[in-house]
């Protein structure tokens, strides 16, 4: 028997997948599950955009209403906005959708499996599989899924199934306890979303300063800073706060008030946070920290 036969024999049983909410995330995860050997048999689609996405990314799927989709699927992928998730699940249960024995999988970062409790009480098998990746709706989404991690939360008996599904998609499962799910998501959102804002703000300020191509200037610097932060933590810090250059920081604030006043509060808050972490790590001397904090309180 060949390697391919062994791989097929050792895989979990192939599943019929239904996707409720085939947007950027749902269509990508659905396509990744198909690449792993499962079949997307159904999807909901109301708008023309969602119908197009189903046709392009999930061509084996028939467009169905949610209750019929649940009936047709072994695994129901719930890829709707976070705030819509609990009402959707309650609605499925209240309208008699046959959820018993079905794997219900959501991709929300902020929720664990508890958000599916109404369906769990009706016999569904709840899994939270959150891909730690941004989605653009482009073809590269599917390839990026194969190199990312998933935050996995499920009842302990279902943990092997949840982790196996992630591994099948080529990604890495990372277990997140139910009680830490919101903290986990806050950490991811704070890092990724605020990073975009900070970079866009820096680029705008550089353009004001006469830099024609801010991206070319920022790319190597920010790439090195991110690498240092991931490898070294706070020990990868550099710059005027680390050096205790209070006059330089005061000059920054003066210029920002003149040219980018909306960014001053963020600069002050982040500089204070940076100074505090550097002080705690022994990288910033106490008397330098005092002078910096005086400037940052002005």
Residue 80 has pLDDT above 90, yes or no: yes
The pLDDT value recorded for residue 57 is 92
Structure token pair of residue 80: 């709707």
* Residues across the chain: 298
Q: Which residue in 201, 185, 170, 190 sits closest to 264, CA to CA?
A: 201
The boundaries of the domain holding residue 220 are 184-297
Give the lowest-confidence range in 4-13, 108-117, 230-239, 248-257. Answer: 4-13
Contact by Cβ (8 Å): 63, 44: yes
Whether residue 127 is predicted with pLDDT greater than 90 in this model: the reply is yes
* Distance (Å, whole) CA 149 – CA 18: 23
Encoded tokens for 282: 């022994």
Mean pLDDT of 118-143: 93
Instruction: Give the mean model confidence (pLDDT) for residues 239-245.
Output: 95
Please say whether the beta carbons of 34 and 27 come within 8 A: no
Q: What is the pLDDT of residue 62?
A: 95
Same domain, 293 and 230: yes
How far apart CA 70 and CA 245 sit, in angstroms, is 61
pLDDT at 2: 39
List, in sequence order, the alpha helices (H) in 73-135: 82-94, 117-121
77 within 8 A of 107, measured Cβ to Cβ: yes
Same domain, residue pair 190 and 266: yes
CATH code where residue 104 lies: 3.40.50.720
Domain count along the chain: 2
Query: DSSP label at 125?
Result: E
- At residue 275, the pLDDT reads 96
Residue 7 has pLDDT above 90, yes or no: no
Contact status, residue 211 vs residue 189, Cβ threshold 8 Å: no
* Residue whose tokens read 């004001």: 208
* Residue 83, both tokens: 């705030």
Q: What share of the chain is helix, strand, coil (3-state, %, to 5)?
A: 60, 10, 25
pTM, two decimals, is 0.87
Same domain, 198 and 293: yes
What is the greatest pairwise CA distance in the chain? 74
Q: Which two tokens stand for residue 297?
A: 């309180």
Q: What is the mean pLDDT of residues 1-5?
A: 38
Please give the average per-residue pLDDT across 249-278, as a whole number.
Answer: 96
Handedness of CA 249, 255, 260, 261 (dihedral sign): positive
Residue at a domain's end among 126, 148, 176: 176
Do 87 and 106 lie in a common domain?
Answer: yes
> Among residues 131, 153, 176, which one ends one of the domains?
176
In a shared domain, residues 148 and 69: yes
Asked if residue 142 lies in contact with residue 117, where contact means CB atoms within 8 angstroms, the answer is no
- Residue 140 and residue 200 share a domain: no
Lowest mean pLDDT among 89-93, 137-141, 169-173, 272-276: 137-141
- The predicted structure's pLDDT at residue 298: 59
| 144 and 188 both lie in a single domain | no
142 and 241 belong to one structural domain: no
Q: Which residues pair with 240 in a beta bridge?
A: none
Q: Indicate if 222 and 273 belong to the same structural domain.
A: yes
Angle between helices 48-57 and 24-35 (to 10 degrees): 20
Q: What angle do CA 12, 14, 15 make, to 5 degrees?
A: 115
Task: Show which of 124, 154, 176 is a domain's final residue.
Answer: 176
Q: Are residues 161 and 248 in the same domain?
A: no
Question: pLDDT tier at 134 (50, 70, 90 boundaries)?
Answer: confident
168, 202: one domain: no
Model confidence at 136, pLDDT cuts 50, 70, 90, reads confident
Q: How far apart are CA 105 and CA 79, in angstroms?
A: 8
On whether both 98 and 140 belong to a single domain, the answer is yes
């Amino acid at each position: 028997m060949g390697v391919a036969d062994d791989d097929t024999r050792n895989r979990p049983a192939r599943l019929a997948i239904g996707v409720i909410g085939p947007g950027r995330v749902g269509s990508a995860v659905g396509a990744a599950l198909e690449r792993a050997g499962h079949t997307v048999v159904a999807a909901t689609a109301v708008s023309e955009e969602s119908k197009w996405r189903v046709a392009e990314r999930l061509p084996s799927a028939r467009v169905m209403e949610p209750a019929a989709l649940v009936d047709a699927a072994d695994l129901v992928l719930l890829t709707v906005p976070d705030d819509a998730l609990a009402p959707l699940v309650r609605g499925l249960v209240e309208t008699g959708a046959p959820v018993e024995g079905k794997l219900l999988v959501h991709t929300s970062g902020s929720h664990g499996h508890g958000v599916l409790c109404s369906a769990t009480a009706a016999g569904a098998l709840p899994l939270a599989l959150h891909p730690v990746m941004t989605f653009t709706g482009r073809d590269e989404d599917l390839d990026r899924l194969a190199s990312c991690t998933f935050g996995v939360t499920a009842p302990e008996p279902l943990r092997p199934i949840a982790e196996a599904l992630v591994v099948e998609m080529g990604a890495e499962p990372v277990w997140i306890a139910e009680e830490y799910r919101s903290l986990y998501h806050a950490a991811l959102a704070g890092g990724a979303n605020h990073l975009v804002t900070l970079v866009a703000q820096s680029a705008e300020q550089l353009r004001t300063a006469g830099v024609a191509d801010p991206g070319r200037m920022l790319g190597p610097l920010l790439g090195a800073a991110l690498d240092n932060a991931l490898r070294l933590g706070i020990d990868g810090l550099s710059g005027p706060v680390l050096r205790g250059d209070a006059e330089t920081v005061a000059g920054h604030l003066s210029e920002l008030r003149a040219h980018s006043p909306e960014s001053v509060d963020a600069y002050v808050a982040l500089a204070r946070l940076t100074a505090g972490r550097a002080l705690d790590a022994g990288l910033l001397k106490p008397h330098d920290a005092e002078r910096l904090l005086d400037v940052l309180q002005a």
